[in-house]
Amino acid sequence: MTREYPVIRLWSKGSPPIPAARDGIGLSFFIHRDHKDIASSVWRALQTYLHAIPPGSLGWYGTDDGDILELDEKGWEIARQQMVERAWGYSGNANLSESPGGGEISSGYVFEYEGQPLDTPFGDAPVSAVSFTFPTKYLLGNGAAHLRALALELARELPFNFGYASFAIISSHGMSGAARWPIVEAFLARYPGVDLHHGTGFSSRLGTRALSPTWLTFLGQPLLGQMGGIDALRNALPFPEVSVLPMDGDRVLVTLDEWPDPIDTQAKAIPPQYRALARLMEPFLFQYEGEELLPYQRDTNRWLRRFL
């Protein structure tokens, strides 16, 4: 049982430095459906998230022109229009957070949504994506069972094909890319159980593929069928720490441990259930392809295969 977590506070390069990222829990779902077919479900999931977190935790929203404004009554109406009621109806987005930045690290509550038509010309394998984050204190204050139940409640609203929850480096408004990268690399090398949470960052290219195994791994179709179904999962994961929970719509939640585990490799080896699930998922993991990949693409490919 893991209840002690590393404290992460990352600041940007430049002068003066500004808050870039912190520790928390990242929860993302990828939905291979057109935005117009899922927008109402995503809005309902947002309401569930709002009821679960402290009042006022989301106080700012990102506008279409790149500004960040206060999430007051008018702001909520604009956010709803961005997500659900755009005049053209083919795409929607939202970026809601506790703080737009400043002298302190934000509280860690961030909601992101990127919805688009599957036939959009932008991206190699587009998919709609929704992301929720929580500070570590939410996990410690409410317990892992509570957070897992909340993740399940959110998942039931969303016709996902893949999703996950993990202890993570989280940020708002894409600020993690501004952090001092050698510090991030050294941290991830020590803690392979920590996700560098990209929110909806894979929405233009993930398609129906998967990312790496994490504390909670949600599998829908076609992934679950390609992996051999629930029986194949249970056969591959005969570990007392693991649970495999069927969900409606021919989907499943795989829980790899009672609590999220950063996996401090200075203290222990990678738990075998992570490697076992990674082997089963390997043929369906996202990978950048091509003969001349950029450095970040090669790094991402290695990172997604770190449990193999």
Lowest mean pLDDT across 68-82, 164-178, 242-256, 273-287: 164-178
E strands in 201-277: 216-219, 243-247, 251-255
More confident residue, 276 or 108: 276
Averaged confidence pLDDT in the chain: 86
* pLDDT score at 88: 57
The string of pLDDT tens digits covering residues 105-141 is 567 899 999 888 777 766 677 788 999 999 999 999 9
Q: How far is CA 253 from the centre of its chain?
A: 15
Domain boundaries, the chain: 19-304
Asked if the model's pLDDT at residue 92 lies above 80, the reply is no
* pLDDT score at 208: 86
Contact 60, 97 (CB under 8 A): yes
The string of pLDDT tens digits covering residues 217-226 is 999 999 999 9
pTM: 0.92
* pLDDT score at 16: 62
* pLDDT score at 119: 77
Contacts of 109 (CB under 8 A, 6+ apart): 53, 54, 57, 58, 97, 98, 133, 134, 135
Length of the chain: 308
* pLDDT score at 146: 97
* pLDDT score at 99: 64
Asked if the model's pLDDT at residue 262 lies above 80, the reply is yes
Asked if the model's pLDDT at residue 102 lies above 50, the reply is no
* pLDDT score at 126: 78
CA-nearest of 222, 251, 171 to 11 is 171
